[in-house]
Amino acid sequence: MRFGRDLHRFQIPEWSASYLKYNELKRLIKFATKRALDDGSQVDGAALFSAIRSELEKVEVFFLEQLSLIETWGSISSSNYIYAYKNNPKPSIGTFDYSVKNPCFLQPREARDILAGFLEARDAIQKLQWYCKVNKDGFVCLLRKLKDCIPCAASAIPRLDDYQFTYPSACGFLKQIYESIDIISVSYTVRKREAREIPGHNYLTRGFPYTEDVSNAIEKDDASSLLAALKDYNSRPPSTREELRVARLASLHVSVMNGSRSCIVHQLQRLGSIKNDKFKSAQNCIHRLVIAMGRTLTLSARYPKIDNLHIDSTRVEELEKGLDLLIFILDNLLPDQQSALLDQDRFGRIPLHYAAQYGLDDVCRVIVDRMRKWGLHNDEQCQTAGLSDIEGHTPLHLGVFNARTSVIASLLQLQSPDGRSFEESEEEKLRGLLGSLLISATDIGCTEIVAILVGNSRIDVNHIRHGGETALYSAARQGNLEIVRILLGSRGIHDLELDMPETAFGWTPLMVACINNHIPVVETLLRAGADPKHEDVYGWAAQDHAAFRACWEIGKLLPPSTLETTSRVPKKFIMELPSVTPCLKDESKILVHLGTLNTREQKPAVDLGLHLDTESNQRYPHAKSSSGSKYPYAGYSVEIKSRNACGSSREISLPVLEDATNFPTIFTTKDPSSVQIMFRFYDNSGRVKGHVGTAIAFLKHLKDGFGVDQESFSRNYTIPIHDGFMDFIGTVTFNFLIVTPFHHPKSTITKAQEPWSMGGPTQIVGHRGFGQNNPNLKRLQIGENTIQSFMSTISQGVNFVELTRDHVPIIYHDILVSESGADLAPYNLSFDQFMHINETQTSVIDSFTVFEQKSSSSSSASGHATPSRPRSRSVDLIEKGRNRDFVARMRKTHEYKTKGFKGNTRGDHIHHPFASLVELLNNIPEHVGIILELKYPMLFEAEDWKMDFYGIEINKFIDTIFKTTFEHGRNRPIVLASFTPEICILAAYKQTKYPVMFLSESGLYPTGDIRASSLQQAVHFAKRWGLPGVIIESNPLVASPALIGYVKEKGLGCASWGGNNDVPEHALIQAESGLDAIIVDSVRLISNTLKVPRS
């Protein structure tokens, strides 16, 4: 995956403004690099370093602010917990002693409230860890780009280690919270409630001595007894009278949580203000009641594994009781106590915030109605942003962030009442507030909330948040067709802008929908009138993006590209471009990817589900359950290291977010058969890194499963992870490639003559010799990939090299030899068997000639010689019969059923014999250049063509071809090419004589390898592995000719192949745009076309 394109999927919507500006920084790097290239100067690193440091500091400040809030929340939860046994002091977070014989046995209501508080703190920490993880990975990607463009200034690049948010252990007290959660859960279930020295609910009463008499009075709802229990405070000196207020507040809280209505009324009448400024949370009794109701609602729903508290059976009943109790309290508030609905706690929140957060729609309605009835909604504190907490969030924000659809209507009536007018400045604030909420609702994909907000006449549907993004842009990027339709349907009420670009790259909603291949959204936007010709900051339109990323169905909906051809940049010859460092004589390389490279296999690289979720996890069975968390657990990492191999180990934080397709971990060894790859997993959430488990792969045993000199086309392997007790806790999936050195006396000689140079005229290359055989072409067709076809080509030709079972390189054009009458690959046949198949198409005329010669000899010997004459008999019927039999045999094969024809078939084409690579190199004039395609099947091709999933070992395959090529190639211009990425990597590592180019189908056909999926991926692959160029299926280059300039500006050669190249107009467009070579079937037609200047 591309990190920037998927960044929005990783972001927490309510924190989106606090993330690094990845795309903006990426654009700065690109522009700085381009300016330096244009000016012939060095990249100005100072400005880039300053911009990145600014973003690092922004993320660091936000992290520390959120960490402080979480610590405050955790300390409140901790202060609420007191051992209910005499002589057991209250522990702080993380200091629970499992050896304590008499732990706190809480009532269900107490346990639920305390447990939910710790679980919310846990979620908050995991949320912050996920935020840190995403930002750190983004900065790693950006700093890698900086090192590529300013290699000499690596020491000046900002260091991530200087910032706290980059350390997973920064939230180290997460484990302490785990311990708090588990000891409460376990202690509640291990024993039944025992006799207590101190009654229940003591966790609410810090600040005064809570006696047995007070507890009994509240539990019995005896107001007179409560008055008597508290009477001793009346005799205290005036200096301690404040203690009486604290005692009454505490008893009010306990009365509310116990539902003791008489005690509640008693305390309300004697307290005056119920504002809680003495307790650490600063939450009044209404706060506490609403929070308790919310936790009752969400605990069992979000944390199903914590079922020992038996919440489900009482949840509805307790919610109804809680609502009745809330109404009772509000009915009994004195006039000067009614402002308690606007009391703010330590986090700046009023009770309505919590009602919105938990989705308590009935509670929201009650509170909003009372606020309006009591005139509190006219209070300055209640206007627009006046309801914001310390993070700037109103109840509406919390309702949207948590997708609480049911509460939105009530909250809108409070903050945007119908028929009410505001001052212009307040009206503008309200419009902006609703507009930002609309974008947030779109981010989380909540269609119902979007519809409610769009229906509000005050909303600004074109509201722009950071980065210039609108709600329509967010919906188009996600591919949320329903929300797009809702927004477009509002144009009768609102003036919706269809083509408003974001600020990083200037992408419009239509562009971003094209980039993400959201076909229905593109169709809808085009029908609505979106401009397909709008250009971004690089001058690219929607068609250019679609062609670049192989979104072909979308490309059909868009007009042709009008982007001017990029001016050609003179580059070095292909042969002089840098490549990877070749393997040493006795050194092999091992490339290890974490995860699968097969796009058809959606499988996580690491699955620690058993470690996290199973009840067999004895350490934190409840606290670590990921089922209740909205965010991936970001506290783990994996270290990849080797045994019996050299190379630095590599530690990767999990889950993997960046695109690591072209960045494997590389080890070197002299003995690949002895190498083991180890994956060591760590939990970094504590103050000290903890080892979780290990997986070990013996590469020889994985690779040699199909016997000597054979291997599977699938290089993805899944192995188990075991902890220190050898218990199975998960799996890791990885991919590896072994590159062995190639030895040949001529492998170190001077590079061969180049077939073409970048910047010169477009070279015409005959496809499969004189052109690929195709029954749709109504012209003379010589059998493809034959020496005769190649000799007929006026310039270079493309040939396809494969190996037979006995390792003889042959020239053949398809993955399957369907001429055999079966779905056999060339490596399933010996060379003699392969050539015998060719002989079955030998002309009958040749057989008659032999017969006539024998007859003539016999006649002469008997004395009855007859004068010889030219043979004039017809053999059409015999020939046709033989051809019918041959074709009938092929009709049963999968290839023939799929294609409907076979190249180089007598009767359809001018048939010529198959050829070996040796014959080709020895019979074609040395000055004629050749592109040798090394045809090695990929896994998805084996799946699609119904062939075996194994073949010749890849090093054996390429070494055999190289041996023949080096022995017979002499100084011939040869380019090696392959559709298989692993072949290109091996060819680049094994030799430097011949250039290696990556062939790509440009996503025109379904593929199972991300590297072969588009022009974009092909360029990334070629650049990473030092390949001199790419050979691209011509569709993207015809749709957007300027992409040729893009490829060349990357320092790569650019050639094309495909049916479009036989259309003179398309060939001419590519040639004029700077194409280096064009591979065609209609050699003469295109040659003549390119010779004639275009008018």
- Tens of pLDDT, residue by residue over 260-285, are 999 999 989 988 888 877 667 788 99
For residue 343, give the DSSP letter. Answer: -
Place of tokens 């290239």: 37
pLDDT of 779 higher than 80:
no
Place of tokens 């690219």: 540
What is the chain's length?
1095
Q: How far apart are CA 25 and CA 35, in angstroms?
A: 15
Structure tokens at 993: 């004589």
Average pLDDT, integer, range 791-807: 56
Which pLDDT does position 619 carry in this prediction?
40
Which pLDDT does position 861 carry in this prediction?
46
Alpha-carbon distances of 1055 from 90, 181, 560, 1004, 1033, rounded to whole Å: 75, 62, 21, 16, 9
Flag the least confident range among 13-27, 370-384, 536-550.
Answer: 370-384
The kind and range of the H/E element at 982 are helix 981-990
User: Which segments within 357-396 are labelled E, that is strand?
Assistant: none
Average pLDDT, integer, range 200-218: 59
Phi and psi based region of residue 604 (left: phi greater than 0; alpha: psi -120 to 50; beta: remaining): beta
pLDDT of 748 higher than 70:
no
**Any idea what the Cα angle at residue 315 is, between residues 311 and 318, rounded to 5°?**
120
Helix 519-528 to helix 471-478 angle (10° resolution) is 140
The kind and range of the H/E element at 952 are strand 950-952
Flag the least confident range among 148-157, 564-573, 1009-1018.
Answer: 564-573
Model confidence band, residue 526 (pLDDT cutoffs 50, 70, 90): very high
Name the more confident of 539 and 755. 539
Which pLDDT does position 848 carry in this prediction?
44
pLDDT of 69 higher than 80:
yes
CA neighbor of 226 nearest in space, from 171, 290, 269, 186 = 269
Q: How far apart are CA 256 and CA 327, in angstroms?
A: 12
Q: How far apart are CA 649 and CA 647, in angstroms?
A: 6
For residue 632, give every residue at least 6 positions away whose Cβ sits within 8 Å of its Cβ, in sequence order, or none.
130, 626, 655
CA neighbor of 369 nearest in space, from 332, 325, 321, 417 = 417
Q: Are 558 and 1039 in contact (CB under 8 A)?
A: no
Name the more confident of 76 and 593. 593
User: Which segments within 807-949 are labelled E, that is strand?
Assistant: 809-811, 915-916, 930-934
Model confidence band, residue 770 (pLDDT cutoffs 50, 70, 90): low
pLDDT of 199 higher than 90:
no
Structure tokens at 64: 């520390």
Alpha-carbon distances of 409 from 107, 361, 414, 651, rounded to whole Å: 36, 9, 9, 49
Which pLDDT does position 823 carry in this prediction?
84
pTM across the whole model: 0.85
Name the more confident of 563 and 516. 516
CA neighbor of 818 nearest in space, from 795, 840, 797, 798 = 840
Model confidence band, residue 214 (pLDDT cutoffs 50, 70, 90): confident
Average pLDDT, integer, range 922-926: 85
Identify the bridge partners of residue 1056 per DSSP, sorted by sequence position. 1032, 1078
Structure tokens at 664: 């494997």
Structure tokens at 964: 């023949």
Condensed to tens digits (0 to 9), the pLDDT of residues 558-594 reads 998 876 654 333 333 333 344 577 777 789 999 999 9
Q: How far apart are CA 856 and CA 197, in angstroms?
A: 127
Which pLDDT does position 341 carry in this prediction?
94
Which pLDDT does position 438 carry in this prediction?
96
Name the more confident of 53 and 103. 53
Place of tokens 């009641």: 289
Q: How far apart are CA 894 and CA 437, in angstroms?
A: 55
CA neighbor of 644 nearest in space, from 665, 664, 670, 666 = 670
CA neighbor of 474 nearest in space, from 455, 432, 434, 446 = 446
Identify the bridge partners of residue 998 per DSSP, sorted by sequence position. 978, 1030
CB burial of residue 777 (10 Å; 0-12, 13-18, 19+)? middle
CA neighbor of 542 nearest in space, from 523, 566, 528 = 523
Average pLDDT, integer, range 60-76: 86
Q: How far apart are CA 891 and CA 880, in angstroms?
A: 16
Q: What percent of the chain has pLDDT over 90?
A: 40
Distance of CA 252 to the CA centre of its chain: 52
Flag the least confident range among 121-130, 801-810, 943-952, 968-977.
Answer: 801-810
CA neighbor of 868 nearest in space, from 880, 855, 881 = 855
Q: How far apart are CA 16 and CA 21, in angstroms?
A: 10
Average pLDDT, integer, range 735-758: 73
Average pLDDT, integer, range 820-839: 82
Q: Are 608 and 720 in contact (CB under 8 A)?
A: no
Average pLDDT, integer, range 590-603: 90
Helix 405-415 to helix 447-454 angle (10° resolution) is 20
**What three-state secondary structure class fits 658?**
coil
Other beta carbons within 10 Å of 571: 19
